[in-house]
């Protein structure tokens, strides 16, 4: 987050399940999962967001109660470290459903004057999820697990007619003349 802020970014965008590990790939069930560790990590990210003065979009697991399955979620933190919203992945694979409950709503948040939507991993393959944002948002953050260098480019899909730089723009590394804006991610060191 500090590197992103120093580079002039308004938003640091992290992959799906960045704080918690990725569900069935990281653990077989939730019985011995450390919810305390996830809560502590979220608090640390909130503090860092505030210190860095940038927005943060970060993946983690979320649970409403100990009796319900958690969701694969994105937390959107504002510059003051407040949670501006939470998006829960809506289209889960068969493997995902072993660990996660699907979400049931979209999320829109104004970030620096740009109306943003959010999708996680497999959500991208369902046109109705994109279409639900049409006319309501200018930018959709798409988060997916990042497990190798080839997949370290996170795509943010701008919905037509918004192509290229946006008014009051979120500072992306580069803006393509197509509806796809690619931003380079920073890999954590050490």
Of 130, 125, 118, 147, nearest to 58 by C-alpha is 118
Cβ pair 60, 73 in contact under 8 A: yes
Query: How many CB atoms lie under 10 A from the CB of residue 110?
Result: 13
- Six token digits for residue 189: 């060191």
For 50-97, the pLDDT digits (tens) are 999 999 999 999 998 877 889 999 999 999 989 999 999 999 888 788
Specify the CATH architecture of the domain 2-184: 4-Layer Sandwich (3.60)
pLDDT tier for residue 41 given thresholds of 50, 70 and 90: very high
**Prediction pTM value:** 0.77
The encoded tokens of residue 11 equal 């938003």
| Residue 136: Cβ within 10 Å count | 11
Residue 187 has which token pair? 């890999």
Angle at 120 between CA 117 and CA 123, to 5 degrees: 90
């Amino acid at each position: 987050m500090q590197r992103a802020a120093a580079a002039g970014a308004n938003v640091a965008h992290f992959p799906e399940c960045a704080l918690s590990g990725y569900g069935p790939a990281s653990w077989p069930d939730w019985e011995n999962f450390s919810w305390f560790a996830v809560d502590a990590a979220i608090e640390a990210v909130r503090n860092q967001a505030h210190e860095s003065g940038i927005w943060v979009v970060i993946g983690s697991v979320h649970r409403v109660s100990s009796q319900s399955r958690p969701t694969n979620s994105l937390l959107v933190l504002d510059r003051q470290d407040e949670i501006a919203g939470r998006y829960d992945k809506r289209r889960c694979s068969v493997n995902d459903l072993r660990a996660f409950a699907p979400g049931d709503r979209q999320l829109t948040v104004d970030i620096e004057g740009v109306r943003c939507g959010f999708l996680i991993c497999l959500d991208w393959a369902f046109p109705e999820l994109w279409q639900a944002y049409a006319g309501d948002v200018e930018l959709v953050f798409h988060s997916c697990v990042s497990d190798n260098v080839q997949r370290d480019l996170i795509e943010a899909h701008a919905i037509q007619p918004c192509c290229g730089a946006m008014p009051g723009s979120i500072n992306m590394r580069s803006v393509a003349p197509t509806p796809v804006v690619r931003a380079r991610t920073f890999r954590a060191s050490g």
